[in-house]
Amino acid sequence: MNIIFTMCFTGSILFLLYLIAVRIFKNSLSNRWKYIILKLVLFFFLTPLGFLKLILHQAPTQTDFILAGNIPIMVSTPHSTYTNSAYQINLTIVLIWIVMAIAAFVWQQLKYFRFKKLIQLSMTEITDLDIIDYVDHYRQTVRIKRKVRLYQSNCISPFTAGILSPLIVLPANLSSEKQRLILKHELTHIRRCDTLFLFLRHLVTCIYWFNPLVYLLELQLNKTVEASCDEIVTLGMNQKDRKNYASLIIDIAANDVQYRTTYASSFSNSSNGLKERMDLIMIPDKQKKHGKRLSVLLASCMVLCSSFTAFAYQSPTELDMVCNSSNNPLLNIGSSDTIVFQSGDFKLTNSSSPIFYDYQFTDTDGNIYKIDTSDRSEYAACNHDYVEGTISKHSKKSNGGCITKYYDAQRCSKCGKIILGSLIDTETHEVCPH
């Protein structure tokens, strides 16, 4: 979950910097560069840049490690997996997040299929050779390799849909000049793969449904994708042609059926913000030259600043432990407690190896064996295969306490013969806990 929050934080920082820049510089920024920055925001939301830290990060030298009890902890042993309360809470949050993200995605898919069914009932294929020739010529001019399907409808405003196999739907009964303007606009969407970025926008909204900024990002993208497309279409137009283009958008918006879908880019978009869009269309090209340089500079600075946040990602730390307890050893760790893991190789002691027998052998994998002290003749005939471990000798005192001594040892995995080594530790308890 940490990587999700890191991606969310990085994308949010870049988007906030974008909003601040738009607020300060307003129409001085190029709409095309606004759109590029917003696509970079999507990229930051969807790309785990925090993993770059793992690639560039060198392995640290072995040091002591302190783990606070208020962060998620999971300990996995050969016998079981143990988690603390913080981990269990974190797991619950993750499950809620996944369920909500899937529900949001399914809901949008259902809306898309409903929209698809609606347009299939109302549209017919365009057979006008003049329109088909114009589209083919424009495709070659702007180097669109994908085949574009053309349809017309009486009840829906112009829009583009589809990623790999795009289609354009035009209103019926429009003049040839208006059709060409609309086609130029929609083909620009296809050339830039805008429907793909609209889908990615939808994906970001589903994944980060808990972040209010993604809904504002959705509104900004809807507005900027059309404004940047207008900027390309009107490039080189005089004021009269710009006015005719703006009037066409107003006429389409006035008769628009407001039925939107995630995967379609609509010519008129919506009546909201229409005045701002008209004002942007009427700005002459010469007033936008300095805006392009400013946009490039701001985009570079914003991406650089926000990318540093990706290195805040902290990867999970893996520690080797041995635990044979049937109870959860993390259950009693509170949020104010800490666990200290010391570096180095340590022999098993009473804290990590429970006392099941008064005289027992514990191997390096944590397996515990009762030691048979009787004289066994089969030892001599065995081709021994020794494993390393420790022996614990536990004895109770008359006052209710106990003493446990730990020795280096080897045990034959075949016959059970023990080779006792040197004493390594002694534990004494006032009251025997075993």
pLDDT truncated to tens, each residue of the chain (434 aa)? Answer: 677 888 888 888 889 888 888 888 777 778 888 898 899 899 989 888 766 655 555 544 444 445 555 667 776 655 667 677 777 888 888 899 999 999 999 998 888 888 888 778 878 888 889 899 999 999 998 888 889 999 988 766 788 888 888 999 888 888 888 889 999 999 999 999 999 999 999 999 999 999 999 999 999 998 899 889 998 998 888 888 889 898 888 888 776 655 555 556 666 665 567 788 888 888 776 555 555 666 667 677 776 766 666 555 555 555 554 444 444 555 555 555 555 555 444 444 444 567 888 889 988 888 888 887 776 666 777 888 899 999 999 888 888 888 888 998 998 888 888 888 888 888 888 888 77
Task: Measure the CA–CA gap between 417 and 135, rounded to whole angstroms.
Answer: 88
Q: Using CA atoms, how far apart are residues 98 and 246, in angstroms rounded to an integer?
A: 43
- Nearest-angstrom CA–CA distance, 37 and 135: 29
Between CA 25 and CA 264 the distance in angstroms is 30
Scanning the structure block, which residue is given the tokens 């640290």? 60
Alpha carbons 339 and 408: distance in angstroms, whole number: 27
Show contacts of 112-117: CB within 8 Å, 24+ apart.
112/261, 112/262, 112/263, 115/259, 115/260, 115/261, 115/264, 116/261
Main-chain phi, psi angles of 199, to 5 degrees: -65, -40
User: How many C-alpha atoms does 101 have within 13 Å on its Cβ side?
Assistant: 15
Q: Is the four-CA dihedral 287, 293, 296, 298 of positive or negative sign?
A: negative
- To the question of pTM greater than 0.95 for the whole model, the response is no
**Measuring CA to CA, how many Å separate 282 from each of 187, 268, 295?**
21, 16, 19
Using an 8 Å Cβ cutoff, are 192 and 144 in contact? no
